[in-house]
Structure 1
């Protein structure tokens, strides 16, 4: 009897180890080719399940499927170490310096293989332990039945001579990768290469297994031809241009604002002819950057044969808005993916193991979740998770960021601790992955002025004569009221209500949820429609509230909206008046973009105030933004001609960001206080040149030389990584269609159906902070589905008016501690 990789759940059909390995190899090669590392990725695919070629594993999987009463324990047989051990045994020999490339290849591919059910192991941890060596060098080969697996591999999968020739090709690819020009140190590039290969392996393995389980051909799908991609993007482009032409038929087509929008859109078209790189699009707020950037992306994708267009947006608030706008234009919903959040909670421990056993856990992992779509909309959290968060679900998507156009909307919202990590990821994509990136915002951050600089292209700004355009787009007067007495809730409410006859629509943006809710409760019932927006509401809920607000605005009816800063990042609304609590200059500019957005109201009014009741003790970035803004406001109060004559000039913004990053320079590398290190040091900085590490390792482990080129600690880094501190977990809210989705997930679904429903559920998720999750668990407001991998809120824990209710009592708690 041959060796078994998987046994299909519905009919107990068998996929052999040989079939699985060769098919995963082919698919991994296809993914790896985008980076010029087809053989490196192919090696990982070829050998990842080599350890299943043993009587021990065959007996285990048959017993688990056909004799469940015998109590086979998932993961009791280690099948992922053998392939990594073979790489180490054959390539990690001789003097390290003389065989550098073979050592590197062994470490890159071997770690991917032994980690493919959890996350990459540390080569050398802060405690001077090497989990990688523990797996590939120190594990008992007899317990693994290693020799049986190795011998069967060379007999049934690939003859040894052919394997050696394949390895030689992989070595040549690695050498070519290492000598590519780059601004990044080699250690950083090799670490990100390892993650790319890991991504290719994970996606190839999951995809092949899913196809087998679905009864489809499990051979690698035919890659889409370049001409087919070009024709699809061409059809999108034609529809976009037809849509933009329709604007010329409007009464206001020849207004100053609309003429400027057309000019900047045309500049995007011309700029798309340039080579791949990192560029900026500094269209002022209200300048139509969504369609202008899409025009650039389509033209550039056609010219340079990019496979994907990915929009990365700071908040889920505007994913649906921007995605809906593009969806209406391209009329191809099947090829546009919105990825708001991970509905399924990521693995936090080793999952040894997708053993091929049927069940909910396997189905969740196999559900298609790899960003393999022509157009993708996602968040900054999800983008950074792809590179740095633990678990296989996140990193699986990484390879689809190669040969792509990535548009970063409101790029100034990159979280401060992630600035260096963000720059490293973009530099890797530009220099090695043939990816172009467009940094879109009216307030460009100074990412090229920090220690770990962004490799932004020289002369890379698309908008010409930017200062003139900014002045021409002036639609509001920004009034600095910060020297006045600070506002409390009562005084602010009076300030909102008094001028409603003259300025019927007012938006108030405050820095914390508690003061937003307090003001909302105070204004509610004032005789004017009042709306509340915050991250306590799921995306579909916010979308519904924004639709109601827009109806009032379109009819020029009185309306008040009180919101946290989430509304600033590109939400397409236009109020007569905006009140903004003091924050960073970029936030003030973005708030101003929600006022008189289309220049239809003459000159709008924006007031910048101090709020007496905001507690910013745990919001250091807002405090740093305030302190970096205040000197500019003081300068302008003393001399209105300074800084280009107004607080939102490009010169003032550049000065603001330089000050802002200097104030927070100790935070830019993602410090990990518990370890006394940073994420960048764990992932990037080499320790091989420091003899003290070798000496300490020998003394600590009482073993021979370390003999490692890679000394990074990717698992330790991932264990400590959160894009937003205490970001928590996602739960599906029983709002709108969320109720149906919760019921559907609680029933038996096929892998294909499960993937579809999980994607749909993203618009109905709410993020829970750790203390909120604990409180809901205690009061019964939270339920776990699908073996605890998916969380859902009970009816009493979600309000149709306010969103999340941690009391689970069906009532709204006005003040949140």
Structure 2
């Protein structure tokens, strides 16, 4: 008798349980080898579907195929608990082997990944003082479990071979925990569990996809050849700059020196480094040069750019595509088109449907070069949903470049630092923190492990002074503006300059100012930008704006903060509503960006119509900046006489983190816990563990007691949950919607989901409810993708709902 793991949809061919387990094991070993834990990840792979070795599951899956009109009840056979249960029985209840603590810890780390591989990691101990992990592996009864184990040892791995394999995994765990690091053992084990889970999820879905598509093996691109070719193309472009007419200008010489210095730094071992190139200093090219050279020297598999806003993903990706002359191997990942955070597909019976095809579609960051956002990066480590964590293992052996790293949301600072420390210490990844305003990430309790010589650019104050192209004009410390006064102020500036950029803090005020100026300056091209527009729409607007700027036409652009981080535009005048110094510095980078003219002005104003009630970081940043501006007005020598000096920026961030001292560890008020506690508190400091012992008058019989699932359920990079919606912007957006409504293969879905990211917007619940009430929403792919109706999307504003939610979604 052969036991069935999957049945192929197109021809009803069977994949045996043995074939699936060994195939997933091999893929998982490949993922784990990068950390020296191939037997740990392989153990998860070979045991994950142990529960399919039953006649009940075989009858169940055959019944689903033979009787599609009346299939067996979905989920009636539990196939994911058995592997975790076997590990628990062998290494927690058997006294002969229980003495090896590494086997016991291994059983919990691997067992949790196994029992969770159709949902998300379980809590070892929850706030309700329950252990869903223990219930599954110890208390849940499985019919014919002993017979299942016998079949595994008969067909997949002999018992003696299995124990040798476990011992090798235990040795790897010993080595992993012994590695010198500032992290606690609980913190190390939390990241290890998540890495094992990532390796298992990706290996399982990849093996299943290959079987379903009838593909023999999973052959990826040869990254060494690709990076060699990329480096040669990049250097050809860089060398061509030396014969340009302006090659010897002061700014271009500085850019070349910094680029050369980045290449020299690439020879250093992988670590966490800072690249504090001033705005307009050629940061993208210099960081790419470092990344490609370092990847060549240290055999990295991926180069990953992490940016704060979706706005600059397409711009930076397009710039890199042009430099490297390649479209195929550069992935833009804006947001999740499919939201699976609340899904539990334990009931999946191995038969293909739309839902399963979506899960199997490639979404695992396996491209050589990837552009994504800070939200997506943090979601990989901390958010619920197997789609997020599936990507984690591909962050190893990578060069990861954080563009505008000062935009790390304050509640996530400690979590961000811990993730980077793990990637650098265990994953052989090199981290580059790029910004003109370096945040004080080593100032908080959970510090980033920065070395003393981490800065790539030498003589930084001299470089900053050499790149100075604007002066900050303070209109915020002693007067206030509303939109009427601001409109008049803009008119005054237009008597002196051709182009004006206005950056405000809320979408509603941006929209209202735009409408006022539309009446006041009907003869001047006027543009509105906000995150109510999809990425493709914003890109179209920015393209038109750039054309006006290049032609030195008169032009006005009114935008939320999405334009200020890395968007390559250069206005003659910028007006910035008061916010943190980092925001003011970034806004200044949109003025006289390439030093085309003598010093230009950036005006900082205090706009009283902005509702910052729900924007605490902007509100507090604004208060600190205002106080520093007042200090500077009283004494022109403080902060080195410049509100954007490196002294001022360091002072600003230290004060900001002091103000948010309680928040940088991601506070969860409803639990009265910090996320860092839920994820990695030691038993002695774990109040849930202590309360469990008191309640039950016995100790929790586990090595680990942390709450991984609860932490993930409470994690939001911003406070308010949003939903991604596909919009019918122009022909391509409508075409994607039409294609998604048809019958598609896994490969088609992979392609369409990637294209769809440029046509997504993120909506709050209130906006969704309003759209639903007005019949403004449809859906496709069996309801898995929400679609905005054409009447609710305009060429002028994007989502056309009168709304000032007080939130800016530009970080998505």
TM-score by length of 2: 0.97
Match of 2:473, SS state, is: strand
Which of 362, 371, 374 is residue 368 of structure 2 equivalent to? Answer: 374
Aligned residue in 1 for 2:31: 31
d(CA) in 1 for partners of 2:699, 2:273: 46
Q: Is 668-677 or 85-94 further displaced after alignment? A: 85-94
Match for residue 775 of structure 2 among 775, 780, 792: 780
Alignment of 1:45-444 (within 5 A): 45-93=45-93, 98-142=99-143, 145-217=144-216, 219=217, 221=218, 228-444=222-438
Instruction: Provide the C-alpha distance between the structure 2 equivalents of 1:245 and 1:60, rounded to a whole number of angstroms.
Output: 65
Equivalent-residue separation in structure 2 for 1:816 and 1:769 (angstroms): 9
SS at match of 1:141: coil
Cα distance change of structure 1 residues 688 and 90 upon mapping to structure 2, 3 Å threshold: farther
Q: Which residue of 2 aligns with 1:533?
A: 529
Indicate which of 648, 658, 663 corresponds to 2:644: 648
- The residue matched to 1:535 in structure 2 has which SS? coil
* Per-residue deviation, residues 50-102 of structure 1 (Å, max 9, x unmatched): 10010111011111111123332322211000000001011123679943211
Aligned residue runs from structure 1 range 509-658, under 5 A: 509-525=503-519, 526=521, 527-658=523-654
**C-alpha displacement of 1:405:** 0.3
Query: Shift in Å at residue 694 of structure 1?
Result: 5.4
Does residue 737 of structure 2 align to residue 742 of structure 1? yes
- 8 Å CA contact 2:306, 2:403 repeated in 1: yes
Match of 2:810 in 1: none
Query: What's the CA shift string for 1:388-438, capped at 9, x where partnerless?
Result: 111110000000000000000000001111111100100000111000000
Conserved 8 A contact 1:688-1:709:
no
Instruction: Note if contact 2:231-2:289 (Cα within 8 Å) is conserved in structure 1.
Output: yes
Q: What SS does the aligned partner of 1:447 have?
A: coil
Q: What residue number does 1:675 align with?
A: 671
Instruction: Say whether the 8 Å CA contact 2:127–2:688 is kept in structure 1.
Output: no
- Counterpart contact for 2:481–2:606, Cα < 8 Å: yes
How far off is 1:483 after superposition?
2.7
SS at match of 2:86: helix
- Unpaired segments ≥5 residues, structure 2: 807-812
Q: String of CA shifts for 1:438-493, please: whole Å, max 9, x gaps.
A: 00000000000011100112211001100010001000011111133201111100
**1:754 — aligned with what?**
749
Q: Does the CA-based 8 Å contact 1:51-1:82 persist in structure 2? A: yes
- Per the alignment, in what secondary structure is the counterpart of residue 6 of structure 2? strand
C-alpha displacement of 1:787? 2.1
Q: Verify the 8 A CA contact 2:477 2:626 in the aligned structure 1.
A: no
State the partner residue of 1:809: none
Residues 1:733 and 2:732 aligned together: no
| Larger CA deviation: 787-796 vs 374-383 | 787-796
**Residue 766 of structure 2 aligns with which residue?**
771
- Superposition TM-score, scaled by structure 1 size: 0.96
Note closer, same or farther for the CA distance 1:764–1:275 as it changes in structure 2 (3 Å cut). same
- Kept in 1: contact 2:689–2:705 (CA 8 A): no
- Aligned-pair CA distance for 1:381: 0.5
1:481/1:609 contact within 8 Å kept: yes
* Aligned equivalents of 2:362, 2:511: Cα separation in 1: 39
The superposition leaves residues 333-356 of structure 1 with CA deviations (integer Å, 9 ceiling, x where unpaired) of 111111000001123032214331
Q: In 2, are the aligned partners of 1:415 and 1:723 still within 8 Å (CA)?
A: yes
TM-fit CA distance, 1:689: 6.5
Structure 2 counterpart SS, 1:477 = strand
Relative distance call for 1:68 and 1:450 in structure 2 (3 A) is same
Residue pair 2:91, 2:98 contacting (<8 A) in 1 also:
no
Partner SS, residue 594 of structure 1: coil
Q: CA deviation at 1:783?
A: 1.3
Paired position in structure 1 for 2:442: 448
Contact 1:534 1:564 in 2 (8 A): yes
After superposition, the CA RMSD in angstroms is: 1.5
Q: Distance in 2 between matches of 1:483 and 1:661?
A: 22
Alignment check: 8 A CA contact 1:25 1:46 kept: yes
Q: CA deviation at 1:700?
A: 4.0
Q: Which runs of 5+ in 1 are unaligned?
A: 807-812
CA contact (8 A) 2:477 2:629 kept: no
**2:798 paired residue among 799, 803, 816:** 803
| Partner SS for 1:72 | coil
Seen in structure 2, the aligned counterparts of structure 1 residues 492 and 223 have a Cα distance that, compared at 3 Å, is closer
Q: Tell me how far apart the structure 1 counterparts of residues 65 and 767 of structure 2 sit (CA, whole Å).
A: 40
Secondary structure at 1:726 match in 2: coil
Q: Give the superposition deviation at 1:223.
A: 6.8
CA distance in 2, matches of 1:41, 1:24: 10
Q: Mean Cα displacement is larger for which, 678-687 or 745-754?
A: 678-687
Q: Which residue does 1:479 correspond to in 2?
A: 473
Q: Which residue of 1 aligns with 2:809?
A: none
CA distance in 2, matches of 1:695, 1:434: 37
Secondary structure of the 2:242 match is: helix
- The answer as to whether partners of 1:507 and 1:560 remain within 8 angstroms in 2 is yes
Partner SS state of residue 603, structure 2 = strand
Contact 1:420 1:453 (C-alpha < 8 Å) held by counterparts: yes
User: Could you say if the C-alpha distance between residues 461 and 557 of structure 1 is closer, same or farther in structure 2, counting changes exceeding 3 Å?
Assistant: same
Q: Is the 8 A contact 1:624 1:664 kept in 2?
A: no
> In structure 2, what is the equivalent of residue 724 of structure 1?
718
Q: CA deviation at 1:146?
A: 1.3
Deviation at 1:701, TM superposition (A): 5.3
* Contact persistence 1:199–1:396 (CA under 8 A): yes
Task: Please say if residues 337 and 753 of structure 2, whose CA atoms lie closer than 8 Å, have aligned partners that are also in contact.
Answer: yes
Match of 1:8 in 2: 8
String of CA shifts for 1:742-780, please: whole Å, max 9, x gaps: 000000000000110000000000001111111112211
* Number of residue pairs aligned between Structure 1 and Structure 2: 802
Q: Distance in 1 between matches of 2:280 and 2:70?
A: 66
User: CA separation of 1:693/1:661 partners in 2, compared to 1, >3 Å: closer, same or farther?
Assistant: closer
- Local SS of the residue matching 1:311: strand
* 8 Å CA contact 2:266, 2:290 repeated in 1: yes
- Aligned-pair CA distance for 1:727: 3.6
SS of the equivalent of 1:73 reads: coil
Distance 1:266 1:60 in 2: 63
Q: Classify the secondary structure of the residue corresponding to 2:352.
A: coil
Q: Check conservation: 2:92, 2:98, Cα contact below 8 A.
A: no
Counterpart-to-counterpart distance in 2, 1:698 and 1:280: 46
